[in-house]
Amino acid sequence: MTTITLDDRQVHVDAEGFLSEFAEWDEHLADTLAALIGIQLTPEHWKVIRFLRDDFAAQGATPTLRRVATLGGVPVKELFALFPKKPAKKMAYIAGLPKPHGCV
């Protein structure tokens, strides 16, 4: 497992840069991760991120776009607007979760 320094602290990441330790994430780190990929977090982003974290804690897997849309109440079209081009990957990255299964 690799460690990198973000916000003056060491965090564990996988080979693609996704956080690999659920407990190392916090909201300040989310802001930093979002900025690294060019996203300024808004209340709409936070709704999605909080859903992802809660769902992951309950289910043990990163939720799919369909799950976020259905259970999280955020339409897929809006997810693409909030997290352009690769929303599932970007949402998981910012939320400090593993890359979703099926993402390339």
Active-site amino acid positions: 103
- Backbone φ, ψ for residue 82 (5° rounding): -75, -40
β-bridge mates for residue 84, sequence order: none
Three-class SS of residue 58? helix
Cα 60–Cα 97–Cα 85 angle in degrees, nearest 5: 120
Round to whole Å and give the CA distance between 53 and 97.
Answer: 8
